[in-house]
Amino acid sequence: MINFFRKIRKQLADQNKPLKYFRYALGEIVLVMIGILLALQVNNWNEARKDQQELKNILLSVVADMKVDAQNIKWASESHKEDNERIKSFLNHADYSGFTRDSLEQSLEIWYILIDYRMNSYYMLRDSGITEYGRYADAVTEIKYHYDVVIPQIKGLEEDIMQSVQESEQFWLLEQNTYEFIKEKELPSQQSDEAALTALTRLLKSPIPRNILKTSYRNNKRMKSQYDWFGKYIDEEVKEIEDAIMKAD
């Protein structure tokens, strides 16, 4: 093909037809440029297609992570509900003589479930280098809002609750000095069961331990409400993302 063009150029030059030669050379340049532009366009199209496929795979991974988070959130919500039922039942007792030392100690415990949100797929999306989201743009916007705004807000609330739990542990472990815990069964207690029950019963008649349980009750209600909302919110987001993927296919 190159030799063919060279022969044409030589023929035009031999015939001393510079204008025709110039037109031919210009046309050749234009054809070359068009070929380059077409090649670039095809390459860009292939890259965009690869990015869209990679983006789809990442979105499917994000959806899988969000489903796991939703399950954990619903479990945590139910756990907070059950814990509040325990606290309510315990505080409604006027007489604690029917409790053993172990059961009475367990009834005074407060705890909190710290959810480990799955973030790896979102980090893959964030660090993928993909900037053109095409038909997935709305889904990506929702995902970014979910991980950059909503989850940090929920975590902030969880940290507030954890601070409250730590303050309560401060009282039981350091401030009160009448009762010796038996949480670790392999460690001996110098306090008899009778003395321990007397000390615990006396503590339960004082405001601080009861207020600790009431604060935990309020925190449980607060977190259950947040988790119930968050679980529904994730379910709706998952459906929207899956719908976007289905429409794109």
pLDDT single digits (tens) 137-151: 888 999 999 999 999
Tell me, what's the pLDDT at 68?
96
Cα gap 93→84, rounded to integer Å: 14
pLDDT at 237 exceeding the cut of 70: yes
pLDDT at 185 exceeding the cut of 70: yes
Quote the number of domains for the chain.
1
- In the predicted model, what is the mean pLDDT of residues 21-47? 63
> 58-93 pLDDT, tens per residue?
999 999 999 999 999 999 999 999 999 999 999 998
Instruction: Pull the structure tokens for residue 222.
Output: 């607060």
- In the predicted model, what is the mean pLDDT of residues 162-179? 86
Q: For residue 213, what pLDDT band results from cuts at 50, 70 and 90?
A: very high
Instruction: Pull the structure tokens for residue 62.
Output: 């994000």
| Domain hosting residue 232, numbered range | 2-248
Tell me, what's the pLDDT at 217?
95
Average pLDDT over the chain, rounded to an integer: 84
